Amino acid sequence: MAAPEPEAPTTAPSRAKDHSPWNWLLFIPIVVPLIPAFFNGDSPRIFGFPRYYWLQLAWILLGVATTTLVYQMTKKRGER
Amino acid sequence: MWRDHLTEIIVFSLLFLLVSAMGFVAARWRAPKDMAHLDEWGLGGRSFGGWITWFLVGGDLYTAYTFVAVPALMFGAGAAGFFAVPYTIVIYPLVFLVLVRLWSVSHRHGFVTPADFVRNRFDSPVLALLIAITGIVATMPYIALQLVGIEAVLKTMGVTGDNALARHLPIIIAFAILAAYTYQSGLRAPALIAFVKDTLIYIVILVAIIYLPYKLGGWGDIFAAADAKFDASPNPNDGILLNANNQLQYVTLAFGSALALFLYPHSITGVLASRNRDVIKRNMSALPAYSLLLGLIALLGYMAIAAGVKPLPGATEGSVDNNTVVPLLFDQQFPDWFAGVAYAAIGIGALVPAAIMSIAAANLFTRNIYKEYLKRDASPAQEANVSKITSLVVKVGAVACIVFLDPQFSIDLQLIGGVIILQTLPAVALGLYTRWFHRTGLIVGWAVGMGLGMWMLYQVASPTRKHFGGSAFPLSEFGFDTTKTIYVGIVAVLVNLAVAALVTLAVRAAKVAEGVDGTTPDDYFADEGDPRVTPGTERDADSAREPVA
Domain parsing of chain A, residue ranges: 37-80
The SS3 call for residue B348 is: helix
* Superfamily the domain B2-24+63-411 falls into: Sodium/glucose cotransporter (1.20.1730.10)
Express each pLDDT in B491-548 by its tens digit.
Answer: 999 999 999 999 999 998 888 888 888 888 888 888 877 776 544 444 434 443 444 4
Output B228 or B37, whichever has higher pLDDT: B228
ipTM of this complex: 0.81
Q: What is the pLDDT of residue A5?
A: 42
Mean pLDDT for B105-133 is 90
Express each pLDDT in B72-109 by its tens digit.
Answer: 888 988 888 898 899 889 988 988 888 889 998 998 88
B85: which chain A residues are within 8 Å (Cβ-Cβ)? 33, 56-57, 59-60
Mean pLDDT for B322-348 is 87
Whether residue B299 and residue A53 make contact (CB cut-off 8 A), yes or no, is yes
CB B360 within 8 A of CB B265: yes
Going by pLDDT thresholds of 50, 70 and 90, the confidence category of residue B243 is confident
Whether residue B92 and residue A27 make contact (CB cut-off 8 A), yes or no, is no
CB B26 within 8 A of CB B188: yes
HSE-CB for B54 with a 13 A CA cutoff? 20
CB B417 within 8 A of CB B138: yes
CB B398 within 8 A of CB B354: yes
Burial track B226-236 (b if 16+ CB lie within 10 A, e otherwise): bbebbeeeeee
Mean pLDDT for A46-54 is 88
Going by pLDDT thresholds of 50, 70 and 90, the confidence category of residue A13 is very low
Asked whether the predicted pLDDT for residue B126 surpasses 60, the reply is yes
Q: What is the pLDDT of residue B161?
A: 67
Q: What is the DSSP string of B207-241?
A: HHHHHHHHHHT-HHHHHHHHHHHHHHSS-TT-BSS
Q: What is the pLDDT of residue B1?
A: 59
CB B100 within 8 A of CB B527: no
B535 to chain A: closest CA residue: A6
Nearest to B450, CA basis, from B476, B483, B418, B402: B418
B277: which chain A residues are within 8 Å (Cβ-Cβ)? 16
Whether residue B525 and residue A17 make contact (CB cut-off 8 A), yes or no, is yes
Q: What is the pLDDT of residue B129?
A: 93
Mean pLDDT for B433-451 is 92
Express each pLDDT in B301-316 by its tens digit.
Answer: 999 999 888 888 776 6
CB B359 within 8 A of CB B387: yes
Report the alpha-carbon distance of residue B168 to residue B24 in Å, rounded: 24
A27 to chain B: closest CA residue: B93
Q: What is the pLDDT of residue B496?
A: 94
Least confident of A16-30, B274-288, B336-350: A16-30
What value does the mean pLDDT of chain B take? Answer: 84
Express each pLDDT in B452-464 by its tens digit.
Answer: 998 998 888 777 7
Q: What is the pLDDT of residue B68?
A: 83
Express each pLDDT in B392-407 by its tens digit.
Answer: 888 888 888 777 777 7
Share of chain B above pLDDT 90, in %: 14
Q: What is the pLDDT of residue A42?
A: 85
Give the distance from residue B373's alpha carbon to the nearest chain A alpha carbon, in angstroms: 22
